[in-house]
Amino acid sequence: AAERAEDTLLVYYAGHGLYDRHERQLHLTLPGSEEDRPETCVRSADLRRAIRDQGAARRRMLLLDCCYSGHVITEMAPGDAGRQGGAAAVRTLRDVEGSYVMASTPRDRPSHAPVPEHPTVFTGALLDVLREGVPEGPELLSPHEVFLAVRDRIATLRPEIPQEPQDQSENGVGDVP
């Protein structure tokens, strides 16, 4: 599907995210992944490369609903911070022209799923916004407008849950409905 996408490639992941302190990157679990064996997971760098290199889509959007998902917005290569300085070591989707990322949490926080049989807090809010839109808002929402509505919905409906979604847009992708 990614190779055939011409307008928009959308990748959505909901699952477990593990932060590998040695590699300094997020790992996304798969069925059968083991926490102490990072090779059984998908490294965020590999996901980033696949999104960047697959197909001819003008817009590439990544929605992550997992613990520590904000790492895909600011992620450092192992050992690079000391050699190159923090700013030079940041690896994100920023170098992917026409990219947009929405993450369920900051880089140092877990994502919440209070009721196992139901969607997570983030996915529940996302589904609500996609179904209902924004009261008195435009008919079509940009990704960033969806993000703002999701963030506000979580803060309003679940104030006891310290979950603060994050987003990042390159080349204005987040502003186009």
Which DSSP string corresponds to the chain? Answer: -TTT-SSEEEEEEES-EEEETTTTEEEE--TT-BTTBGGGSEEHHHHHHHHHHSS--SEEEEEEESTTGGGGTSEE-TTHHHHH-HHHHEESGGGSTTEEEEESS-TTS----SSTTS--HHHHHHHHHHHH--TT--SS--HHHHHHHHHHHHHHH-TTS----EEEESTTGGG--
Section 10-18 average pLDDT: 96
Whether 173 is in a domain gets the answer no
Task: Measure the CA–CA gap between 40 and 10, rounded to whole angstroms.
Answer: 24
pLDDT digits (tens, 9 = 90+) for 73-129: 876 444 444 433 434 334 556 566 788 999 999 999 999 998 888 999 999 999 999
User: How many helices (H) and strands (E) in the chain?
Assistant: 5, 9
Residue 91 belongs to domain spanning: 8-168
- pTM, 2 dp: 0.86
Whether 59 is in a domain gets the answer yes
- pLDDT band, very low/low/confident/very high, at 161 (cuts 50, 70, 90): confident
Whether 53 is in a domain gets the answer yes
Whether 175 is in a domain gets the answer no
Whether 146 is in a domain gets the answer yes
Whether 2 is in a domain gets the answer no
Give the domain CATH number at 26.
3.40.50.1460
- Domain total of the chain: 1
Looking at residue 81, its pLDDT comes to 42
Mean residue pLDDT of the chain comes to 86
Task: Measure the CA–CA gap between 107 and 69, rounded to whole angstroms.
Answer: 6
Whether 114 is in a domain gets the answer yes
Buried/exposed code over 97-114 (b: 16+ C-beta within 10 A; e: otherwise): ebbbbbbbbbbebebbbe
Whether 161 is in a domain gets the answer yes
pLDDT digits (tens, 9 = 90+) for 36-63: 898 999 999 899 888 888 778 889 999 9
Contact assessment for residue 51 and residue 95, using Cβ atoms and an 8 Å cutoff = no
